[in-house]
Amino acid sequence: MSNSDINKIPLGKLLFERLSKVTKSVFGVPGDFNLRLLEQIYEVPELEWVGNNNELNAAYTADGYSRINPHNFSCLITTYGVGELSALNGIAGAFAENVSVLHIVGSSALRARAVADDGNEMDALFGTVHHLVPGKHTFRQDHDVYRKAAEAYSCYSESITEEDILQGTVQDKIDGAIEAVVANHKPGYLFVPSDVAERLVTCDLNKPLDLYKYKSKNLNDNEKKVLNLLLDKVYKSENPGFVADYFLKRHTSEVIDLLEKTNWDCYSTPASRGLCLDETLENFKGVFCNEKSPKGVFESIKKHDLVLHFGSKINETSFRYSGKNEEINNWLATQDICFLGRDFAMIGFKKELIKNISGCKVFNRFLEVLDYSKIQKIIKSKAEQSRGQLYSDSYKLGEMVMQEDRLFEQEVSYELSKNILQKGDIMLCEMSSFAFELENIKLPSEGRIICQSFYASIGYALPATVGVCKALKDYNMNNRVLLLQGDGSAQMTLQELSLFLKYDLNPMILMMNNSGYTIERAIIGATSSYNDLTAEWDWQKMLEAFGDSNKDKHETFRIGNYDELKTYISEKGTKPLDKLHMVELILDKFDYGNGLLVFLGKKSADEAM
Amino acid sequence: MSNSDINKIPLGKLLFERLSKVTKSVFGVPGDFNLRLLEQIYEVPELEWVGNNNELNAAYTADGYSRINPHNFSCLITTYGVGELSALNGIAGAFAENVSVLHIVGSSALRARAVADDGNEMDALFGTVHHLVPGKHTFRQDHDVYRKAAEAYSCYSESITEEDILQGTVQDKIDGAIEAVVANHKPGYLFVPSDVAERLVTCDLNKPLDLYKYKSKNLNDNEKKVLNLLLDKVYKSENPGFVADYFLKRHTSEVIDLLEKTNWDCYSTPASRGLCLDETLENFKGVFCNEKSPKGVFESIKKHDLVLHFGSKINETSFRYSGKNEEINNWLATQDICFLGRDFAMIGFKKELIKNISGCKVFNRFLEVLDYSKIQKIIKSKAEQSRGQLYSDSYKLGEMVMQEDRLFEQEVSYELSKNILQKGDIMLCEMSSFAFELENIKLPSEGRIICQSFYASIGYALPATVGVCKALKDYNMNNRVLLLQGDGSAQMTLQELSLFLKYDLNPMILMMNNSGYTIERAIIGATSSYNDLTAEWDWQKMLEAFGDSNKDKHETFRIGNYDELKTYISEKGTKPLDKLHMVELILDKFDYGNGLLVFLGKKSADEAM
């Protein structure tokens, strides 16, 4: 070791030291291009390697972890090409849904790159690197081909170079990657060539990470303009309604404080449920998602002279707007509504768009300067006060004919709202027919719903549940975790069940066995064979096959009617979970919920009431 | 229906009609953007929909199918974004390994595209399409973002447009896609917007597909030059050696005929085993892969005054060249060797490169014009004749100490060569420590080995085996199929086991249970936790969990020592398979084969002899 190396540490160790500031678990799959890097993780005992079964599952798991991690961060490590491409769909999902995930890829060696760049074409032909596709019109392989494929799904993309190592800029790239994914709520990429993990590099381990750049005090002109517009409107309004959307997620306690002080009616959105406010607040009025809102919620929001839609994450599922609903069109055209998104504000629906702002910065300042004495006191009638949350009561259970030999999705939904869900429960829901019922499920205090409803990649929820459970365990939180899983989507990512066993994670898995893709049967092809499953899997035996043959770590339940469901609830369903519960719910394959039929336009919201 | 529609058929039906000319199964996963298309498959009874558990598995399955399908073709259908991205790694693998797979994607509706292209930015914000990632720097979504991501891995990429429907060019695009993937040995893409499957389009169902464009008789100047050079060298040579590599795969019977007439010594390569010649030919001398060749094979090939390396697929694993082996370097520098690849020829190693040719066309003409009377008769000594195939005998079983409580990989390898493999057997091998033993395994007549050794995406082999079995069944071939599977790689794509059950496919699965990523332990991290598995899966129960609880369709075996292996072989292992055999082989996690250690440079080829 030369003198100049005294304060240097191996590059891989530096990477893991920095990661340990913002996470406790690192997900992924080993491969020959990342093995030397992975060896270094053992140098940083604060970090735990969590090996997934495949890379797509690793990306989903990381997504779930990031949503719970107090540092709003997660990391997965894959190998060149074969690994990183497999993960790509999961990364695109995190991009679409705004989740901070750092994807570290063990890429081709610096020395292999040098051959590809400097050699002649015949050298290139005989010097190919495995895992790397051949060039399309040349014998040269493009070592950046995979990096380019990920560009559209990342807010940061850098590769460690020889210059970084020589000039001491490795830590800048590592810190930059972590800071970018956190600040932008988006995935980012860091490529680590397979031959650099042991190189010694300069570092400053005590340098703080600058994760929340939007906390800076200086507003630009656009931000000032938005702030003043909002304050002005708020002071003039007699009865504002406040929609707390996804990008307020790092301001939850401030939001709750604001709503308690102002007594404004408030709403969550499908993307923000339990994330940005507590749905047991007295002034909480339900889940607002424009056209898709339960009828009562729409009736409520119409009464406000001002709607503050803050933290806005606008997309097809969280703010459904088809342009075809005349009642909604008329309302939007005349409603004083202000959107404050991550990077834009809009004053009036499709009226004035203001870009080049940080919504979080504006919101921070809004809270700082808001003069509560100028806010008009809201007088509510007793009837309004007592009405409480306006979930649509589409489950007219009293009117339903219970069937002794059958279980209905509506019964499950009803019991979740009324009996199963407990304070602090986190419920993940797979994109399934059931996902369209979520707006009607009542959340308990500190409860939360996670559903990838816009990107909507089925298979997401099971591995994401692994990540959620692992983050809770890592950060000593003891919330229960429930997973509402369809059997069709469970096929996609099934093997990740085994991680619950390996890491002693104990979710309640409500496996809705409805023999196929019921959500798609409702769209088209109700009886077409492509909506059937590959086989009748035995959910009672599955976790035994995954290694828990003595049922030390899991219990199984098979529920075929409402009575059996009620028995499970009274005996087990409301208690802390000390084993994984595999609760198989036998449902009919044509058991479409009202929510799904309304969404598809096959039933009107009025009929569903 | 207007008069002009009389001869039109729905676009989806047209697509499936054309596909039915070149395949009997269509793989994939349904999704809301492809459902209307999938509905049309039932209009074409010659085609069967095979639903996979996820899209990556579908791509691997299609890859396997294409390798067996006499039409050299396969097809998978996925949905927009969430589906097609999941499949991307499998498509990149087919691109790297030169397999003809058509990937049809149900993409966003033409009318949604029109909104994105024509509306203003605020319209775009409120008109997002689910499954589609948001734009990076604009509220507009890029409807072609996924198509761009696949560009580097496809030889054809077209989307059906309104103009195609109006102008009658839909069939051109469909036929073009099929013809391109077959002719180029590469994957291709056809994007079908979700709202066009039922549109009526003109068609000519009797038009023949032009699949083998290289059969055209006209050689260009480069091709003529290459042909003349080759003929000249062949007539002058006293003892040519013929290496039949991958791209001769559509000329197998011609190659065998040539070798029988000329009596030239011949060799296969890792990519062509059993594909381009029969390894039981008397003049077959073993598997040639340059530096990685078994020692005896290299000794044999050195003796030729001319080496014809035809059908060349040059990459790191099929023609290993590090530049560091002096003996090889000297040999290559002086050897008269001619490469004839898919699209290039090279005369002398790294000497004269000739591009812009079709290797298949040249080879076709070569066979037509070859004057056997001008070829010098090869006189072989009796010793040479009797020596036969030069597999390295690295399994000195006589010298090995059998252990009653343990099974060794070498014992499995030995028994495969000597006893298990039967005429016509197709053996798939996962990229695993065992894959490095393949060059030493002796193939029976009409036997074949399939291993994705260059792209090397672990998890490939299990779904590919589904595809291989399905193609054999579809085309009434009754070859046995063996899958050598590592337990680490089986994790990746496990769920596709259930397809064997659903479609009554009966491979022999040799599940090498060595408790983790043994291939990677050999590289680095022998005892590191990242090379361990997620749990101890129970391979005896797995297929029961996947629905065959009464073992109607499968048998399980658990083999822990050599005697048990021999019992299995004598009772079951050489017979036709009427059920799936799950044969669990309990191996030590540090049981590295010689082939792997030689490949990694941890043992020399001489030591391994």
Q: Is the pLDDT of residue B593 over 80?
A: no
Residue B197, exposed/middle/buried by CB under 10 A (0-12, 13-18, 19+)? buried
CB A594 within 8 A of CB A439: no
Tens of pLDDT, residue by residue over B192-227, are 999 999 999 999 999 999 887 666 678 999 999 999
Q: How far apart are CA A351 and CA A330, in angstroms?
A: 14
Q: Does residue A400 sit at the B interface (CB-CB below 8 Å)?
A: no
| Least confident stretch, A206-220, A476-490, B44-58 | A206-220
Q: Which residue has the tokens 């009607």?
A: A440
Q: How confident is the model at residue A400 (pLDDT cuts 50, 70, 90)?
A: low
Position A608 scores a pLDDT of 47
Q: Is the pLDDT of residue A589 over 50?
A: yes
The length of chain A in residues reads 609
Span B366-383, average pLDDT: 82
SS3 at position A114: helix
Position A96 scores a pLDDT of 97
| Residues whose CB falls within 8 Å of the CB of residue B150, separated by 6 or more in sequence, listed in order | B84, B88, B91, B103, B157, B189
Q: Does residue B515 sit at the A interface (CB-CB below 8 Å)?
A: no
Q: Which residue type, as a one-letter code, is found at position B42?
A: Y
Q: How far apart are CA A52 and CA B26, in angstroms?
A: 30
Q: How far apart are CA B368 and CA B231, in angstroms?
A: 11
Position A609 scores a pLDDT of 41
Report percent pLDDT > 90 for chain B.
76
| B residues 238-257 lying closer than 8 A (beta carbon) to A | none
DSSP character for A134?
P
Among candidates B121, B314, B492 on the partner chain, residue whose Cβ is nearest the Cβ of A54: B492
Is B514 a known ligand-binding residue? yes
Phi, psi angles (nearest 5°) of residue A584: -85, 120
Domains of chain A: 3-211 (3.40.50.970), 215-387 (3.40.50.1220), 409-608 (3.40.50.970)
Span A435-445, average pLDDT: 89
Residue B386, exposed/middle/buried by CB under 10 A (0-12, 13-18, 19+)? exposed
Can you give the three-state secondary structure of A239-277, one letter per residue? Answer: CEEEEECHHHHHHHHHHHHHHHHHCCEEEECCCCCCCCC
Report percent pLDDT > 70 for chain A.
92
Position A394 scores a pLDDT of 42
Between chains, do B315 and A128 touch, taking CB under 8 Å as contact?
yes
Q: Report which of B515, B329, B348 is spatially closest to residue B432, judged by C-alpha positions.
A: B515
CB B574 within 8 A of CB A541: no
- Average pLDDT of the residues of chain A: 91
Higher pLDDT, B228 or B398: B228
Higher pLDDT, A528 or A234: A234
Span B243-272, average pLDDT: 95
Q: How confident is the model at residue B380 (pLDDT cuts 50, 70, 90)?
A: low
Q: Which residue has the tokens 């081709």?
A: A108
Query: Could you tell me the two tokens for B365?
Result: 């003409």
Tens of pLDDT, residue by residue over B95-110, are 999 999 999 999 999 9
Angle at B359 between CA A133 and CA B76, to 5 degrees: 45
Position A392 scores a pLDDT of 47
Q: Does residue A550 sit at the B interface (CB-CB below 8 Å)?
A: no
| Residues whose CB falls within 8 Å of the CB of residue B552, separated by 6 or more in sequence, listed in order | none
If you write DSSP's letter for every residue of B46-101 in order, what string do you get? T-EEEE-SSHHHHHHHHHHHHHHSTTS--EEEEETTTTHHHHHHHHHHHHHHT---
Position A215 scores a pLDDT of 66
Position B394 scores a pLDDT of 42
Position A396 scores a pLDDT of 47
Is A525 a known ligand-binding residue? no
Between chains, do A528 and B502 touch, taking CB under 8 Å as contact?
no
Position A588 scores a pLDDT of 82
Q: How far apart are CA A238 and CA B258, in angstroms?
A: 93
Position B609 scores a pLDDT of 41
Q: Which residue type, as a one-letter code, is found at position A558?
A: R
Q: Report which of A20, A7, A58, A14 is spatially closest to residue A40, judged by C-alpha positions.
A: A14
- Average pLDDT of the residues of chain B: 91
Position B400 scores a pLDDT of 58
Q: Does residue A388 sit at the B interface (CB-CB below 8 Å)?
A: no
Q: Does residue B153 sit at the A interface (CB-CB below 8 Å)?
A: yes
If you write DSSP's letter for every residue of A185-248 in order, what string do you get? TS-EEEEEETT-TT-EE---TTPPP---GGG-S---HHHHHHHHHHHHHHHH-SSEEEEE-GGG
Q: Is the pLDDT of residue A387 over 80?
A: no
Other C-beta atoms closer than 10 Å to the C-beta of A156 total: 20
3-state DSSP: chain A helix, strand, coil percent, rounded to 5?
Answer: 40, 15, 40
Q: How far apart are CA A44 and CA A40, in angstroms?
A: 8
Considering Cα of A398, then A401, then A407, then A409, what sign does the dihedral take? negative
Position B605 scores a pLDDT of 54
Q: How far apart are CA A538 and CA A529, in angstroms?
A: 20
A137 to chain B nearest CA, in Å?
10
Position A391 scores a pLDDT of 54
Q: How confident is the model at residue B5 (pLDDT cuts 50, 70, 90)?
A: low
**Exposure of B137 in the CB half-sphere (CA atoms within 13 A):** 1
Q: How far apart are CA A65 and CA A520, in angstroms?
A: 29
Query: Could you tell me the two tokens for A244?
Result: 């707390």
Q: Is the pLDDT of residue B154 over 50?
A: yes
Tens of pLDDT, residue by residue over A525-581, are 777 887 777 668 999 999 999 999 999 999 999 999 999 999 999 999 999 999 999
Beta bridge partner(s), residue A355: A344
First vs last C-alpha separation in chain A:
75
Q: Does residue A536 sit at the B interface (CB-CB below 8 Å)?
A: yes
Tens of pLDDT, residue by residue over A180-193, are 999 999 999 999 99
Query: Could you tell me the two tokens for B578?
Result: 């009427």
Position A130 scores a pLDDT of 94
Which helix (H) or strand (E) segment holds residue B9: the answer is: strand B9-10
| A residues 327-386 lying closer than 8 A (beta carbon) to B | 344, 346, 350, 353
Q: How many CB pairs under 8 A join A and B?
A: 270
Q: How far apart are CA A226 and CA A232, in angstroms?
A: 10
SS3 at position B583: strand
Span A245-249, average pLDDT: 96
Among candidates A53, A95, A314 on the partner chain, residue whose Cβ is nearest the Cβ of B534: A53
Position B391 scores a pLDDT of 54
DSSP character for A290?
B
Best residue in B80, B85, B155, B531 to probe A by mutation, most A CBs within 10 Å? B85
Partners of B108 on chain A (C-beta within 8 Å) are none
Q: Is the pLDDT of residue A107 over 70?
A: yes
Among candidates B32, B153, B502 on the partner chain, residue whose Cβ is nearest the Cβ of A133: B153
Q: Which residue has the tokens 């059993």?
A: B274
Q: How confident is the model at residue A63 (pLDDT cuts 50, 70, 90)?
A: very high
Is B487 a known ligand-binding residue? yes
B510 to chain A nearest CA, in Å?
18
Interface TM-score (ipTM) > 0.90: yes
Best residue in A53, A497, A511 to probe B by mutation, most B CBs within 10 Å? A53
Partners of A128 on chain B (C-beta within 8 Å) are 314-316, 454
Between chains, do B126 and A517 touch, taking CB under 8 Å as contact?
no
Nearest C-alpha in B relative to A145: B152
Q: The pTM is what?
A: 0.95
The 10 Å CB-count burial string (b at 16+, else e) for A256-283 is bebbeebebbbbbbbbbbbbbbbbbbeb
Which helix (H) or strand (E) segment holds residue B586: the answer is: strand B580-586
Q: How far apart are CA A442 and CA B267, in angstroms?
A: 70
Higher pLDDT, A137 or A46: A46
Which region, left, alpha or beta, applies to residue A451 given φ > 0 means left and ψ of -120 to 50 means alpha? beta
Q: Which residue type, as a one-letter code, is found at position A42?
A: Y
Can you give the three-state secondary structure of A359-403, one letter per residue? Answer: HHHHHHHHHHHCCHHHCCCCCCCHHHHHHCCCCCCCCCCCCCCCC
Q: Is the pLDDT of residue A415 over 90?
A: yes
Between chains, do A122 and B547 touch, taking CB under 8 Å as contact?
no
Higher pLDDT, B25 or B316: B25
Position B434 scores a pLDDT of 85
Q: Is the pLDDT of residue A113 over 90?
A: no
Classify strands B102-107 and B188-193 as parallel, antiparallel or unpaired: parallel
Query: Could you tell me the two tokens for B208?
Result: 């023949």
Between chains, do A528 and B38 touch, taking CB under 8 Å as contact?
yes
Q: How far apart are CA A127 and CA A113, in angstroms?
A: 10
CB B104 within 8 A of CB B77: yes
Partners of B133 on chain A (C-beta within 8 Å) are 92, 95-96, 152-153, 455
Position B215 scores a pLDDT of 66
CA A83 and chain centroid, separation: 22
Q: Which residue type, as a one-letter code, is found at position A290?
A: N
Tens of pLDDT, residue by residue over B444-500, are 999 999 999 999 999 999 999 999 999 999 999 999 999 999 988 999 999 999 999
Q: How confident is the model at residue A475 (pLDDT cuts 50, 70, 90)?
A: very high
Span A297-314, average pLDDT: 95
Q: Is the pLDDT of residue A384 over 70?
A: no
